DNA sequence: CGCTTTCGCTACGGCTCGTAGCGTAACTGC
DNA sequence: GCAGTTACGCTACGAGCCGTAGCGAAAGCG
């Protein structure tokens, strides 16, 4: 289920020779995540990761240009575990994905790594492309799937113009992901069911709806 | 207009002696911002900042615990320049603040610093408190002022329960700030008037409104 | 069995960190 | 004015990490 990842790290030249150890790859990525938990982003060193993974430091540098790229690959695997639960309505679909995303951001390795690599990427264009390809763009599937389902149910109108539809999907993605990240990491307050419900209410009905009369505590 | 900042850095004991140079303080913060522009977060070193500011490295360590705290103070001043334009309607108020915020995030020093210190703060609780006090909570004034104006105009209903009202303000803040940050720094696509208009439309009217019929290109 | 590539290991120069120690400068209170 | 107190500039230092080079051995391929 988490296959097809090796495409992120292809040797520069293809030829016969000793193949790269796939066990080393998984051991390194797992060691990276564990080091993130124990040390956090800044105190994480590649030498330490190599020791934890049981490989030589030089092996790390043969496969990844540096710390940022390694961490991106290590956390990207976690994001692929997100899935859209078909809960029957657009509102509960959004709530479900928000809570899943929040749970992911609650893990210490994700928490400390995500913002750090994004910060790095503001002065490192190749890294930014790697983040988009490995994490951001892959998760837009959730927005597209949720909209398609909602349209099938008749909860959302069809958007005939594909360009406009794409812009809308990007907008929704930035709003949902951005709000959850900001709530969890900047405001550092819990993303619980209560918050998810009010947030979903805002996204669906707009500001006047949420400011006037929010959904009751037991809204279906 | 940017006064009252020295309260962020108070000497541990108050007594007679040589006072701290206020010129050094401003020179250090300005040098920090310039170093962020030239080097970005990771390559910024305190030794380099000291040289740029024309002070000794030890002076820096006497005033700030480390790089993170220094950078927080340096960029916090920039955020205080944000203001809510009284444009006559809630929609244009939001659009104005979104564009101001986006312009701030477009500056290289803000761009590279903000995410980095937030990442740091996930494993450094005192730093997180400093960010909240110096940046985040200070900017909630924009949300509170905007809501008050909208309520005066009759665009938003009054919220009698103060606890609910506070939660709503927090929600709005996370949504607006989070979406703009995500669009600007993660998706790395422009936050222009077009996007601000569509985003505002979503916040005010909800998803069905923005997916159905967005505001025309010349909506007043 | 040669060719190719990876692996583990060691070692290295270079850089940054954060602190200590010193003499000097600036300001306060007696 | 003079002693006390604090900040300042400067130098120096051990420690740690970076990223690379060089080596011999291992693991596949034709």
CA of B60 to C1' of D7 (A): 12
Give CA–CA dist B144/B163, Å, rounded: 14
Contacts of B159 in chain A (CB under 8 A): 211
CA dist A175 and B176 (Å) reads 8
Q: Which residue has the tokens 């050094």?
A: B24
- The reply to whether the CB atom of residue B30 sits less than 7 A from any atom in nucleic acid chain C is no
For residue B126 the two structure tokens come to 């005192």
- The pLDDT score that the predictor gives to residue A147 is 96
Superfamily of domain B22-63: Homeodomain-like (1.10.10.60)
Residue B119 near residue A112 (C-beta atoms within 8 A) = yes
pLDDT beyond 70 at B5: no
Give which of A157, A140, A138 is closest to A90, Cα–Cα. Answer: A157
**How many A-B residue pairs are in contact by the CB < 8 A criterion?**
181
Which nucleotide lies at the shortest CA–C1' distance from B51?
D9
Residue closest to B71 by CA, chosen among B140, B4, B131, B6:
B131
Does A169 contact strand D, using a CB cutoff of 7 Å? Answer: no
CATH number of B76-212: 1.10.357.10
Which chain D positions come under 7 Å from a protein C-beta? 4-12, 16-22, 26-30
Q: What is the mean pLDDT of each run of 10 residues along chain A (220 residues)?
A: 51 74 94 97 96 96 96 97 93 97 97 96 95 96 96 94 95 98 96 97 90 52
In whole angstroms, what is the distance from residue A118 CA to residue B182 CA?
Answer: 10
Give the per-residue pLDDT at A8.
64
Cβ proximity of A118 and A131 under 8 Å? yes
Q: Per-residue pLDDT for B117 more than 70?
A: yes
Angstrom distance (rounded) from CA B137 to CA B170: 10
Residues of A in contact with B147 (CB under 8 A): 211
Q: How confident is the model at residue B9 (pLDDT cuts 50, 70, 90)?
A: confident
What per-residue confidence (pLDDT) applies to B208? 80
**And the tokens for B95?**
């659009």
CB-CB under 8 Å, A115 with B118: yes
Phi, psi dihedral angles at B52 (to 5 degrees): -60, -40
Q: Are B179 and A181 an interchain contact pair (Cβ–Cβ within 8 Å)?
A: no
Provide the CA A13 to C1' C4 distance, Å, integer. Answer: 11
The answer to whether residue B163 scores a pLDDT higher than 70 is yes
Q: Does A201 or B7 have the greater pLDDT score?
A: A201
Give the pLDDT confidence score for residue B63 in this predicted structure: 96
In angstroms, the CA B58 to CA B50 distance is 9
Rg, chain A, Cα only:
20
Average pLDDT over residues B149-164: 94
The whole-angstrom separation of Cα A68 and Cα A29 is: 12
Is there contact between A63 and strand D, defined as CB under 7 Å from any strand atom?
no
Residue numbers of A between 125 and 144 with CB closer than 8 Å to B: 128, 131-132, 136
Q: Is there a contact between B191 and B183 (Cβ–Cβ < 8 Å)?
A: yes
pLDDT of res. A212:
62
Q: What is the mean pLDDT of residues B100-120?
A: 96
Contacts of A211 in chain B (CB under 8 A): 147, 156-157, 159, 168
Domain ranges of chain B: 22-63, 76-212
Nearest by CB to residue B206, choosing from A41, A174, A203, is: A203
Q: Which fold has domain A76-207?
A: Tetracycline Repressor; domain 2 (1.10.357)
Interface of B with A in 147-206 (CB under 8 A): 147, 155-157, 159, 164, 167-168, 170-175, 177-183, 185-189, 195, 198-199, 202-206
**Residue B220: predicted pLDDT:** 45
User: Mean pLDDT across the stretch B198-209?
Assistant: 93
Give the pLDDT of residue A7.
Answer: 46
For residue B15, say whether its CB is under 7 Å from any atom of strand D: yes
pLDDT per position as a tens digit, B67-82: 999 999 999 999 999 9
């Amino acid at each position: 289920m988490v296959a097809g990842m090796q495409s992120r790290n292809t040797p520069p030249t293809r030829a016969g020779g000793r193949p790269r150890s796939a066990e080393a790859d998984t051991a390194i990525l797992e060691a990276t995540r564990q080091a993130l938990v124990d040390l956090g982003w800044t105190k994480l060193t590649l030498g330490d990761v190599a020791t934890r993974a049981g490989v030589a430091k030089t092996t790390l540098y043969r496969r990844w240009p540096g710390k940022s790229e390694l961490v991106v690959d290590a956390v990207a695997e976690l994001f692929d575990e997100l899935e859209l639960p078909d809960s029957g309505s657009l509102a509960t679909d959004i709530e479900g994905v928000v809570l899943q995303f929040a749970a992911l951001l609650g893990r210490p390795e994700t928490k400390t790594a995500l913002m750090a690599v994004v910060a790095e990427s503001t002065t490192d264009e190749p890294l930014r492309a790697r983040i988009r390809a490995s994490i951001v763009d892959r998760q837009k599937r959730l927005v597209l799937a949720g909209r398609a389902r909602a349209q099938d149910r008749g909860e959302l109108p069809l958007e005939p113009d594909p360009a406009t539809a794409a812009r809308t999907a990007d907008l929704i993605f930035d709003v949902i992901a951005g709000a959850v990240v900001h709530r969890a990491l900047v405001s550092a307050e819990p993303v619980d069911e209560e918050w998810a419900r009010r947030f979903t209410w805002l996204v669906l009905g707009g500001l006047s709806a949420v400011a006037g009369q929010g959904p009751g505590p037991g809204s279906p």
